[in-house]
């Protein structure tokens, strides 16, 4: 009896392995699932294109990309334990087949400003790609220190000028970016611009707290994007979402230092701006100048609507909840204007923690276009110094559910 009990399961296991991938369905024939083993993948290694003694790897990357993109390769490899030095470069499509760039090594930016004469706003660009992936455990190092020192936000005697974004994805559809570290960008770290269907996860973005304009992840004119399980600490917004963006999810983000999670700025220069259907869920913010923020310039038009901030923990955050429809990031005071980007249908739910300032909730809305449909639900924010905090709400049509502390008069 003991042997029978032992042999029957063993026979079942052996039969299962004789069928498709261990699955057996007697009612119909099974299909063998297509799979790629490492030996069957068609790989291009950037190391194979390097010349001996070369300190600039830009041409090697261009040749490797052209080979991978045009030949139907599966993976372009940037090997581990290697450091590559790049001038501004564009990886453009469309490619012959779906392609993955696997970055396990370190890519460092040129520190010579003359290398950026043709385009001062970009370092590495991926554009016009379909079903494209960037993954790996490597580091993208922008060597931003030389640019920060020349910023008008650091030295007010200098004229304000653009600096390169480290990593730009332009007009890419069905895009996945995962695992990599972006460090010390010249200005913004990662931009998703005019993209559709994006998943970005397990990213690490880091720059010193005083580095100017070093937004971590910037979303512009992009639809259907999910950013998740990432850690961002920079000198500007951890995540910024601007005009043309729709169906944006930010999940399980750890943010700090930096300026928090921002929608905007919107409407600068009397422009139209449109952002909708944004969800920020399960975020942790520590030591940031703002928590979750919507910021618009006076004189703009359009809307920021259908926005949810929920399940967020704040620690020593200066402005935990803020809508600022009088945003003015310029030396001269901004004049009062009647028109504004309409802010409506915004939910703040289950937000707890500590405020570094006395005003934990500040809703500074336009008198001409008041904020509409603002819901505060289950809010518990206290001050770090005196244990209490206050709220200020101007021109905001709001409702409350559950415990809301502090609460507007």
- Catalytic positions, written as ranges: 236, 259
Count the Cβ atoms, other than its own, within 10 Å of residue 4.
Answer: 7
Sheet order of strands, 190-193 included: 89-92, 122-127, 165-170, 190-193, 217-220, 239-241, 261-266, 292-296, 321-324, 359-364, 390-394
Q: What angle do CA 99, 76, 53 make, to 5 degrees?
A: 155
Bridge-partner residues for 288, per DSSP?
none
User: By CB neighbour count within 10 A (0-12 exposed, 13-18 middle, 19+ buried), where does 5 fall?
Assistant: exposed
| CA atoms within 13 Å, Cβ hemisphere of 375 | 15
Do the beta carbons of residue 328 and residue 355 sit within 8 Å?
A: no
* Residue 179, SS3 per DSSP: coil
Q: Please provide the DSSP assignment of 344-371 as one string.
A: EEEEEEEEEEEESSSEEEEEE--SSS-E
Report which DSSP code applies to 59: H
Nearest C-alpha neighbor of 197 from the set 139, 257, 142, 129: 129
Residue 89 main-chain phi, psi, to 5 deg: -150, 145
Cα-Cα end-to-end distance for the chain: 78
User: By CB neighbour count within 10 A (0-12 exposed, 13-18 middle, 19+ buried), where does 148 fall?
Assistant: buried
């Amino acid at each position: 009896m003991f042997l029978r009990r032992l042999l029957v399961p063993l026979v079942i296991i052996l039969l299962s392995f004789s069928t498709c991938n261990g699955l057996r369905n007697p009612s119909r024939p099974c299909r063998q699932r297509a799979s790629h083993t490492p030996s069957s993948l068609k790989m291009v290694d950037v190391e194979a294109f390097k010349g001996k003694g070369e300190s600039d790897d830009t041409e090697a990357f261009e040749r490797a990309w052209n080979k991978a993109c045009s030949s139907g390769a599966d993976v372009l490899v940037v090997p581990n334990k290697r450091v590559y030095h790049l001038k501004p470069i564009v990886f453009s499509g469309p490619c012959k087949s779906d392609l993955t760039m696997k970055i396990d090594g370190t890519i460092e930016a040129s520190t010579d400003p003359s290398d950026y004469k043709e385009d001062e706003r970009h370092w590495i660009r991926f554009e016009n790609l379909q079903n494209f992936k960037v993954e790996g455990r490597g580091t993208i190092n922008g060597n931003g220190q030389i640019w920060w020192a020349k910023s008008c936000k650091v030295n007010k005697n200098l004229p304000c000028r653009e600096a390169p974004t480290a990593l730009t994805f332009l007009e890419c559809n069905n895009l996945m970016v995962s695992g990599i570290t972006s460090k010390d960008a010249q200005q913004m770290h990662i931009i998703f611009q005019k993209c559709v269907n994006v998943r970005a996860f397990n990213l690490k973005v880091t720059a010193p707290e005083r580095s100017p304009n070093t937004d971590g992840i910037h979303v512009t004119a992009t639809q259907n994007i999910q950013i998740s399980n990432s850690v961002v600490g920079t000198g500007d917004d951890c995540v910024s979402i601007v005009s043309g963006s729709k169906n944006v999810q930010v999940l399980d983000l750890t943010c700090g230092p930096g300026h928090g999670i921002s929608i905007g700025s919107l409407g600068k220069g009397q422009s139209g701006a449109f952002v909708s259907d944004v969800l920020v869920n399960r975020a942790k913010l520590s030591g940031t100048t703002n928590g979750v923020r919507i910021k618009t310039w006076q004189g703009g038009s359009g809307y920021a609507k259908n926005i949810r901030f929920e399940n967020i923990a704040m620690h020593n955050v200066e402005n935990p909840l803020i809508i600022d429809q009088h945003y003015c990031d310029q030396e001269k005071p901004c004049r009062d204007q009647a028109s504004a980007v309409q802010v409506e249908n915004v939910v703040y739910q289950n937000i707890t923690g500590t405020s570094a300032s006395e005003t934990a909730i500040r809703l500074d809305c336009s008198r001409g276009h008041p904020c509409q449909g603002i819901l505060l639900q289950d809010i518990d924010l206290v001050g770090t110094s005196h244990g209490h905090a206050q709220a200020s709400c101007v021109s905001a049509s709001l409702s409350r559910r559950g415990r809301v502390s502090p609460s507007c008069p």
